[in-house]
A and B are shown apart, each in its own frame.
Chain A
Amino acid sequence: MRTLLRFLYRYHFFLVFLTLEIIAVTIGFRYNKFQQAAFVKFTENISGYFNEKISAFTDYFSLVETNRKLAFENAALKNQLQRVYRSDELFFFSEEDTLYRQKYFFTSARVVNNSIHNMYNFLTLDKGREQGMRPEMGVISTEGVVGITVGVSQNFTSVMSLLNKNFHLSARLKKNNYFGSLSWDGVDYLHAQLTEIPHHVDIHPGDTVITSGYSAIFPEGIPIGVVEKAELRDASFYTASIRLFTDFKHLVYVDVIGNLKKEEQRNLENRFHD
């Protein structure tokens, strides 16, 4: 107690100054709108800075949820887009080849299992018959072609990956529409092979390869990859090595394409071709 008193006595000048100054400054803040606003702005800048830092950190925790929502939204928007175009289809269907791709709708799915190191690779998606999945639907990612659905259970779908030696797809060069057959040789998950390109065709490294749309599984014009090198094999056909756009090692969300008119096209083709 005595030390406290001695302390108070010793520093009474400074303590009185501090008290009066605090009172004055408090009055200054309380009754002057400008200082009040400036002070609030100042403290808000500080707290805003920290909130931003914290949020930048905590955002990572919700990335999974955010991704899922965005994938759903993408699918919904694409569906909407297709629906708008499909109304045009009635008018252009028989004539305009380019509108073939408008016969499709999309739904998003999550890859729950994936392999890339086997000769016959498959993926598993977290949607099945109950969610509208059927065999022989095309599967694409935002980058390009992924595979074709082969087996469907109640809630899961098995997808034959493009990285499967049984996978064959009609593909064409974007610049001149010459088409060939795309398959995988089982060597490297980054590259596939495009064969049956006639020898007179102008094909060079850097050319983009897209789906042809003939199979009625994939819409026309889905990107597949770029030509990395093209070799003339047995004098009449090129075999090209295609660097794939889809990174199969990092697949999380894919879009599944449903073709409403597939049955119709098949029936027609079967009736007249056999």
Chain B
Amino acid sequence: MINLILRNIARFVVLILIQVIILDNIQLSHYAIPFMYVLFLLLLPFETPGWLVLILGFILGFTVDLFEHTYGIHTAATVFLAFLRPLILKVVAPRDGYGSNTYPRIYYFGLTWFLKYTFILVFFHHLFLFYFEAFSFHHFFSTFLRVLLSTLFSVTLIVLSQYFMYRK
């Protein structure tokens, strides 16, 4: 249990560092900005109570906001993701459910499941994030393009990281 908590804290710190030190400095395009830090919320154990996911999401988003000087914007988006997480888990659940002693990993449920799960949540997170940032529907389609391309970018990074971190 202590081990689990320590591992999550470490993941939190590492993901924040990767985000603010490396990813925020990758200026590929105005339309493709990766936000990989949400992986922290995706990897939390199934049994984590909803309210805790929400609070962790708040802390995660707020930390990113502190570094990016976008106070409140990432926070609102990550809280939204945390709110959707139980619902999406239900939607993409495999036929025999999530067994005990399993975690949301490719290793347990396969690439397809993980892609579905990641893509939906990251998409909604980015959707909320970019529209809250633009705060208008004036440039509806250009904002939507940003959401789509950034989602693809983030999901790619997240999936690749899984193969690096959890090799069999």
Residues of A within 8 A of B (CB): 12-14, 16-17, 20-21, 23-32, 34-35, 38-39
Contact = CB atoms under 8 A, between A and B. Distances in A.
Interface in B38-91: 50-51, 54-55, 57-58, 61-62, 65, 70-73, 75-76, 79-80, 82-83, 86
Contact of B58 (A24, A28, A30): A24
B136 interface: yes
B132 interface: yes
A16 B54 contact: yes
A32 B50 contact: no
A17 to B, nearest CB: 4
Contacts of A12: 51
Contacts of B164: none
Interface residues of B, number: 23
Interface of B: 50-51, 54-55, 57-58, 61-62, 65, 70-73, 75-76, 79-80, 82-83, 86, 132, 135-136
A25 B51 contact: no
A2 to B, nearest CB: 21
Contacts of B54: 13, 16-17, 20
B71 A28 contact: yes
A28 B72 contact: yes
A28 to B, nearest CB: 3
Ranked 4 nearest A-B pairs via Cβ: A28-B72, A27-B72, A31-B71, A24-B76
B55 A20 contact: yes
B54 to A, nearest CB: 5
B147 to A, nearest CB: 18
Given A16-B51, A16-B55, A21 B135 contact: no
A38 B79 contact: no
5 contacts: A16-B54, A21-B76, A23-B75, A25-B72, A39-B135
A32 B72 contact: yes
A17 B72 contact: no
Given A24-B79, A38-B135, A39-B135, A13 B72 contact: no
A30 B72 contact: yes
B72 A31 contact: yes
A32 B70 contact: yes
Contacts of B70: 32
B72 A38 contact: no
A24 B61 CA distance: 9
Contacts of B135: 34-35, 38-39
Nearest to B61: A24
A63 B36 CA distance: 64
Contacts of A13: 50-51, 54, 83, 86
A28 B79 contact: no
Contacts of A31: 71-72
B76 A28 contact: yes
Given A12-B51, A35-B135, A38-B135, A17 B73 contact: no
A171 B58 CA distance: 88
A192 to B, nearest CB: 62
Contacts of B75: 20, 23-24, 27-28
Nearest to B75: A24
A7 to B, nearest CB: 15
Contacts of B71: 27-28, 30-32
A22 to B, nearest CB: 9
B76 A25 contact: yes
Contacts of A24: 58, 61-62, 72, 75-76, 79
Contacts of B79: 17, 20-21, 24
A12 B54 CA distance: 11
Contacts of A39: 135
- A17, A23, A27, most chain B CB atoms within 10 A: A17
A17 B76 contact: no
Contacts of B62: 24
